[in-house]
Amino acid sequence: METITKEKIANLLKVRLGFSSLICEEITNSIFAEIVDLSLNNTKLILPNFGKFQVHSKGKRPGLNLKTRKILEIEPRKVLRFNPSNFLKQKINSHELA
């Protein structure tokens, strides 16, 4: 399985749209920056037929330092979760990606 990077996405845009590399890189960076900004400002970002990004708060919980075997407390934090849409799941499972 190949890893897709922002650089590869920009190159795909360049090939498909015919724009310069600089413009495609700027478009790609802007899209990801908007996803991050919207996720930080809202608790939920829904992209139809793609999925949902949601900020989830994890509470304080016990943990274990595997090296020292000491019990410690993991501080509360926020994480960004992604849930793919049913449409995207069906596309992936039917191998119809093009």
Q: Rounded to whole angstroms, how far apart are CA atoms 84 and 72? A: 34
* Full residue range of the structural domain in which residue 31 is found: 1-41
In this structure, is residue 62 part of a structural domain? no
The predicted-structure confidence for 26-76, as pLDDT tens digits, reads as follows 999 999 898 888 877 877 888 999 999 888 889 999 999 999 999 999 999
In this structure, is residue 61 part of a structural domain? no
In this structure, is residue 6 part of a structural domain? yes
Q: Give the Cα-Cα-Cα angle 82, 6, 87 (nearest 5 degrees).
A: 40
List, in sequence order, every beta strand (DSSP E) within 1-98. Answer: 44-47, 51-58, 61-64, 71-74, 77-84
The total number of structural domains that make up the chain: 1
In this structure, is residue 29 part of a structural domain? yes
With contact defined as beta carbons under 8 Å apart, do 28 and 10 qualify?
yes
In this structure, is residue 23 part of a structural domain? yes
pTM: 0.67
In this structure, is residue 59 part of a structural domain? no
